[in-house]
Amino acid sequence: MKLLRFGPAGAEKPGILDVDGVIRDLSGVVPDISGGALSAEGLAAIAQTDLGALPAVSAETRLGPCVAGTGKFICIGLNYADHAAEAGMDVPSEPVMFMKATSAICGPNDPIIIPRGSEKTDWEVELAVIIGKRAKYVSEADAMDYVAGYAVTNDVSERAFQLERQGQWTKGKSCDNYGQIGPWLVTKDEVADPQNLSMWLTVNGKPMQDGSTKTMVYGVAHLVSYLSQFMSLHPGDVISTGTPPGVGMGQKPQQYLRPGDVVALGIEGLGAQEQKAIADPE
């Protein structure tokens, strides 16, 4: 299934994409794409719904982030060996974990807001893993039982805030609209192998990233198990699993986003996003 959320920011409703590509309103079936709706039982109940009987939604409707109730937005750094090389960093001996503030989350086609003082706003196409039930101390063998599905995310980053100022990476990752998620949450039954998905990103139509999840250092099952050793993962939590090479920081010369630039990105089977970069209006 391809689950989604639609409507004005902060007032999104749950939806689903039917076999004809029509958005159907799930409001009468589940309160949102969150909590119990993400469990195996919740997803099974949605799957049994007669989609043709649900109200159709205009294709022009804004799409919101495809999951609600996210308590943790966990990111994994340097998880592609070729990206670590372009960043001039060693491949880590275990996953590098950092947090992105949940206030950064926005819809897949919402603008990238370049914050005040930013000179190095960068792009990163990533595979997002959405947790479906509470996970704590889970084994790698059982880890996939806790995954509800997958989505595209753009782990937008301000490199000067992230790397050139004091403290950890979080403040370079957490600016408003630095976390587009969607267009859909694709349930795991529709993804045969999350470690073999092509992924791409363009800036103003120019190809910048062209990679595959098969080059991840640490795969989805390992990451879910690993993170669950340190904290409970809850339904709606998002794990952004790292990016392949081709980010702006890795260009020669380096290239960063400016107002008016258009970023498009996608992952095989998970849909695509498009965002225009704008100056912060506040």
Query: Would you state the pLDDT for residue 57?
Result: 97
Chain-centroid distance of CA 125 in Å reads: 8
Residues ≥6 apart with Cβ < 8 Å to 170? 98, 99, 100, 101
The pTM score is: 0.95
| Domain locations along the chain | 65-279
CB 24 within 8 A of CB 16: yes
65-279 placed in CATH 3.40.50.620: no
d(CA 239, CA 73): 6
Per-residue pLDDT tens for 2-51?
A: 999 999 999 999 999 999 999 999 999 999 999 999 999 999 999 999 99
Query: Would you state the pLDDT for residue 249?
Result: 93
Nearest to 194 by CA among 205, 186, 183, 202: 186
d(CA 257, CA 126): 18
For the chain, where are the alpha helices, taking DSSP H only?
40-47, 81-86, 159-163, 170-173, 220-228
Query: Would you state the pLDDT for residue 83?
Result: 74
Query: Would you state the pLDDT for residue 81?
Result: 81
The strand ranges marked E within 139-195 are: 147-155, 157-158, 179-181, 185-187
Query: Would you state the pLDDT for residue 137?
Result: 98
Which residues make beta-bridge pairs with 199? 211, 267
Per-residue pLDDT tens digits of the chain, which is 282 residues long: 999 999 999 999 999 999 999 999 999 999 999 999 999 999 999 999 999 999 999 999 999 999 999 999 999 998 998 777 777 777 889 999 999 999 999 999 999 999 999 999 999 999 999 999 999 999 999 999 999 999 999 999 999 998 888 878 899 999 999 999 999 999 999 999 999 999 999 999 999 999 999 999 999 999 999 999 999 999 999 999 999 999 999 999 999 999 999 999 999 999 999 999 999 999
